Amino acid sequence: MRHDSAFKIFSLSLIWVWLGLFALLPFLLVLITSFLEPGTTHLIQYHFSLENYHDIFSSIYAKVFVRSFGVAALSTFICLVLAYPFAFFMATAQDKYKNILLLLLIVPFWTSSLIRTYAIIAVIKTKGILNTILLALGIIHHPIEIMFTNTAVMIGLIYNLLPFMILPLYANLERLDFQLLEAARDLGASKLRMFFQIVFPLSMPGVLAGCILVFLPAMTIFYIPDLLGGAKSMLLGNLIQTEFLTIHNWPMGSTTSIILTAIMGLFLWFYWRKTSSADRKDLV
Amino acid sequence: MRFSTYIVGLCLLLCASVTYASQGVLNVYIWGGEVPDSVIQQFEKETGIKVNYSTYDNNETLYAKLKATKRSGYDIIEPSSYYVDRMRREGMLQVIDRQKLSNYKNLDPSLLNQAYDPTGEYDIPLVWGTTGLFINTKFFSNTTLDQWNQLWNPMYKNKVLLLDDPREVFSMALISLGYSASDSDPQHIKEAYLKLKKLMPNVRLFSSDAVPSLVADDDATVGMIWNGDLHNAREDNPNLKFVYPTEGFGIWVDCFAIPKDAPHLDNAYRFLNFMMRGDVAVQSTLQNNYAVANLAARQLLPKALANDPVIFPSAETLKHGEFQMDVSDEALALYNYYWTLLKIEA
């Protein structure tokens, strides 16, 4: 037993040190930087200021926030609509198919998301696979221009984030007690009613977990609007990237990151309020 | 930020203890795609010096990295002309002793002692190029494009490619208004912003690192481009045409420089002298088609490249060119502010 507890203390403290050094410390640095001023000869001036926070709530930035929320909400909704039937099918499939489906879902993760985004470009570009096929079949006569539009950004976001919606939904639906459905059928409930009154409410923790996992990255995967959207319209991730790397305003970039973290915290708090600890298994 | 300095210092200490252990080491941090890997390998083979080689794709990254760490540990960097100007004035570079560089005589004198480094003590130019207009004649067969101002024409709605670089785009707008490409006057910068805002409906995309493939595959059919990128793209797509705008155009020069605290100075000099050898410098141009700033190398180029007016414009054309200069901090802050605004409002 002594050995056990020594090992436990060792591994736990290792994780605490790791988190402290690589999560908490950087976060604190960003937090501190967000209250400083940008410098000219140095990146940061050690001078306390609330100006960044004042600026971030001005109308220019509001536009980025609103656009990011809109894009994230739409992609989350489409992911949910696409993922739900798939997750349900997977949860109710026979075990041998279930494993194959899971594998198919996870295999793309073995390739970097950036490379998969470049693969999307190869498909949708002017002389891409899609246009070549459609032109060859005579379905269209001029290439469709999908690249560098909001549609392209949406395709990229949904493609990249769909698994994050499917997995928590699947984890939840797999635990669904199907005897409830039999009971409902015996009592004469229609299929639609069974879904909306039993299945969907019971899967709510999974839905929420999936939405959180899709919504937040959708605002911050900066390379998708950059590569597929032509770096034209900024989302929050692009704004942070530009502030840090193009215009060297580290304090403003930090402030934007802090606001984003606050939003994320708000979502998690809401999720925490709405779910019991047993439900929260879906998120992890 | 003291903590971060501490952490970074710790990491560098770890790296340093590794690098000091082996003698000949050189830490090189330069533009991606400008020096072929084979050249680095050749240098390692000839000198026995181990090169730690990493790259960046914009000056801002280089600048931010050097600013963020007191002792970056780099021996060779490669800022563009206007960053040579800035870093030199901020004391980030050290004077290069040209007596030690026997191959310095190979450099193209027309690119030395320019306004960004009037005494020529801080920079060793490697490649240079210009920013001009391009058009795909398959899509626009009977139009004459020879001015920046024509990009505002409604016929190019949702077609135009702009470089994803605040300075380049604002230089273009300022030149089109008849101002200097490196203007610091707030009123002029604002005018340029308002003019660019009107261009946005015509803009299809911003990009600076994937331009040749985008242009070669018809994903962008008109816009601004670096001349070397156009040369690359034209090899796959003969419909592409490069134009030196009559209003004027910017010239950039990417130059080697030695940071203030370079730890391996002797090796840095050996590297610079090696890179100025004609047979070495020519490799860069053979790979990326940017004009080489080295006359000995230029003689070794294939005739088709050495005589291409896109890459090596005539002295007459070059008269309209303007070397990119650094601008005041206030002006740079304005460029950046309007750049963000431009993209947010898009």
Interface predicted TM-score (ipTM): 0.84
Task: Provide the token pair at A60.
Answer: 């220019």
Is residue B53 included in any domain, yes or no?
yes
Looking at the fold, whether A145 and A192 belong to one and the same domain comes out as: yes
Q: Average pLDDT of B214-243?
A: 94
Cα gap A4→A10, rounded to integer Å: 10
Q: Which residue has the higher pLDDT, B16 or A90?
A: A90
Q: What is the CATH number of the domain that holds B36?
A: 3.40.190.10
Looking at the fold, whether B229 and B273 belong to one and the same domain comes out as: no
Looking at the fold, whether B12 and B157 belong to one and the same domain comes out as: no
Instruction: Give how many domains chain B has, as a whole number.
Output: 2
Is residue B245 included in any domain, yes or no?
yes
Looking at the fold, whether B110 and B157 belong to one and the same domain comes out as: no
User: Considering only CB atoms, which chain A residues are within 8 Å of B345?
Assistant: 60, 63
Q: Average pLDDT of B319-340?
A: 90
Residues B122 and B93 sit within 8 Å (Cβ to Cβ): yes
Task: Provide the token pair at B303.
Answer: 């005739």
Cα gap A243→B166, rounded to integer Å: 12
Q: Which residue has the higher pLDDT, B18 or B245?
A: B245
Looking at the fold, whether B28 and B172 belong to one and the same domain comes out as: no
Cα gap A266→A260, rounded to integer Å: 10
Residue B23 pLDDT > 60: no
Looking at the fold, whether B142 and B220 belong to one and the same domain comes out as: yes
How big is the CA angle at B67 (ends B65 and B71), to the nearest 5 degrees?
A: 85
Looking at the fold, whether A164 and A278 belong to one and the same domain comes out as: yes
**CA distance readout (Å), A100 to A95, A193, B189:** 9, 31, 59
Task: Provide the token pair at B49.
Answer: 């010096």
Looking at the fold, whether B182 and B275 belong to one and the same domain comes out as: no
From B68, B340, B345, residue closest to A247, measured CB to CB? B340
Residue B203 pLDDT > 70: yes
Residues in chain A where the model's pLDDT stays below 70: 1-3, 40-42, 278-279, 281-284
Buried b (16+ CB within 10 A) or exposed e, A223-235: bbbbbbbbbbbbb
Q: Answer positive or negative: Cα dihedral of B24, B27, B33, B34.
A: negative
Is residue A42 included in any domain, yes or no?
no
Residue of A nearest to B89 (CA): A41
Is residue B309 included in any domain, yes or no?
no
Is residue B313 included in any domain, yes or no?
no
**Coil vs helix vs strand at A1:** coil
User: Considering only CB atoms, which chain B residues are within 8 Å of A64?
Assistant: 344
Residues B94 and B267 sit within 8 Å (Cβ to Cβ): no
Residue B116 pLDDT > 80: yes
Looking at the fold, whether A21 and A67 belong to one and the same domain comes out as: no
Contact criterion met (CB < 8 Å) for A234 and B346: yes
How many residues can be counted in chain A? Answer: 284
**CA distance readout (Å), A21 to A12, A14, A18, A251, B1:** 14, 10, 5, 21, 14
User: Considering only CB atoms, which chain A residues are within 8 Å of B2?
Assistant: none
Q: Average pLDDT of B120-124?
A: 95
Looking at the fold, whether B271 and B245 belong to one and the same domain comes out as: no
Q: How confident is the model at residue B21 (pLDDT cuts 50, 70, 90)?
A: very low
**What's the pLDDT at A2?**
58
**What's the pLDDT at A281?**
64
Buried b (16+ CB within 10 A) or exposed e, A144-169: bbbbbbeebbbbbbbbbbbbbbbbbb
Residue of B nearest to A248 (CA): B64
Tell me the backbone φ, ψ of residue A110, rounded to 5 degrees: -75, -15
From B336, B344, B346, residue closest to A247, measured CB to CB? B336
Looking at the fold, whether A141 and A246 belong to one and the same domain comes out as: yes
Contact of A247 with chain B, judged by CB distance below 8 Å, is answered with yes
Is residue A113 included in any domain, yes or no?
yes
Share of chain B above pLDDT 70, in %: 93
Closest Cα of chain B to A147: distance in Å? 8
Q: Which helix (H) or strand (E) holds B63?
A: helix B59-68
Looking at the fold, whether A28 and A59 belong to one and the same domain comes out as: no
**CA distance readout (Å), B152 to A148, B13, B63, B156, B222:** 19, 53, 33, 7, 11
Q: How confident is the model at residue B139 (pLDDT cuts 50, 70, 90)?
A: very high
Q: Average pLDDT of B15-39?
A: 76
Looking at the fold, whether A12 and A109 belong to one and the same domain comes out as: no
**Coil vs helix vs strand at A37:** strand
Is residue B327 included in any domain, yes or no?
yes
Residue B10 pLDDT > 60: no
User: Considering only CB atoms, which chain A residues are within 8 Å of B164?
Assistant: 231
Can you state the angle between helices A25-33 and B2-21, rounded to 10 degrees?
130
**Lowest-confidence region among A36-50, B89-103, B290-304:** A36-50
User: Considering only CB atoms, which chain A residues are within 8 Å of B346?
Assistant: 232-234
Is residue B26 included in any domain, yes or no?
yes
Looking at the fold, whether A189 and A272 belong to one and the same domain comes out as: yes
Looking at the fold, whether B46 and B15 belong to one and the same domain comes out as: yes
Hunting for tokens 């708090």 — which residue is that? A269
Cβ pairs A/B, distance under 8 A: 86
Short-list A73, A66, A78, A113, CA closest to A224 = A113
**What's the pLDDT at A41?**
63
Residue of B nearest to A66 (CA): B344
Domain that holds residue A4: 1-33
Instruction: Give how many domains chain A has, as a whole number.
Output: 2
Q: Answer positive or negative: Cα dihedral of B213, B216, B218, B220.
A: positive
Looking at the fold, whether B327 and B186 belong to one and the same domain comes out as: yes
Looking at the fold, whether A86 and A202 belong to one and the same domain comes out as: yes
DSSP letter, residue B109 = G
User: Considering only CB atoms, which chain A residues are within 8 Å of B236?
Assistant: none
List the single best residue of B207, B340, B341, B342 to mutate versus A (max A Cβ within 10 A).
Answer: B340
DSSP letter, residue B290 = P
Is residue B303 included in any domain, yes or no?
no
**In chain B, which ranges are E strands?**
25-31, 50-56, 76-77, 124-136, 160-162, 203-206, 222-226, 240-243, 249-256, 291-292, 321-323
Contact criterion met (CB < 8 Å) for A231 and B329: no
Contact criterion met (CB < 8 Å) for A244 and B344: no
Cα gap B234→A62, rounded to integer Å: 42
Looking at the fold, whether A22 and A84 belong to one and the same domain comes out as: no
Domain that holds residue B283: 2-125+254-290
> Residue B260: CB partners within 8 Å, gap ≥ 6?
B91, B92, B93, B94
> Residue A85: CB partners within 8 Å, gap ≥ 6?
none
Looking at the fold, whether A239 and A267 belong to one and the same domain comes out as: yes
Compute the mean pLDDT over every residue in chain B, rounded to the nearest whole number: 90
**What's the pLDDT at B9?**
45
Cα gap A271→B262, rounded to integer Å: 52
Looking at the fold, whether B67 and B196 belong to one and the same domain comes out as: no
Is residue B311 included in any domain, yes or no?
no
| Longest distance between any two alpha carbons in chain A, whole Å | 76
Is residue A38 included in any domain, yes or no?
no
Looking at the fold, whether A16 and A77 belong to one and the same domain comes out as: no
Q: How confident is the model at residue B82 (pLDDT cuts 50, 70, 90)?
A: very high
Sheet hosting strand B76-77, strand order edge to edge: B50-56, B25-31, B76-77
Looking at the fold, whether B15 and B115 belong to one and the same domain comes out as: yes
**Coil vs helix vs strand at B295:** helix
Looking at the fold, whether A122 and A194 belong to one and the same domain comes out as: yes
User: Considering only CB atoms, which chain B residues are within 8 Å of A244?
Assistant: 64
| Longest distance between any two alpha carbons in chain B, whole Å | 65
From B64, B203, B337, residue closest to A43, measured CB to CB? B64
Instruction: Tell me which residues of chain B have a C-beta less than 8 Å from any C-beta of chain A.
Output: 1, 3-4, 7, 58, 60-61, 63-64, 67-68, 90, 164, 166, 203-207, 217-219, 329, 336-337, 339-341, 343-346
Looking at the fold, whether B330 and B215 belong to one and the same domain comes out as: yes
**CA distance readout (Å), A227 to A122, A163, A223, B324:** 12, 21, 6, 27
Contact criterion met (CB < 8 Å) for B205 and A148: yes
**What's the pLDDT at A282?**
61
User: Considering only CB atoms, which chain B residues are within 8 Å of A34?
Assistant: none
From B4, B61, B205, residue closest to A232, measured CB to CB? B205
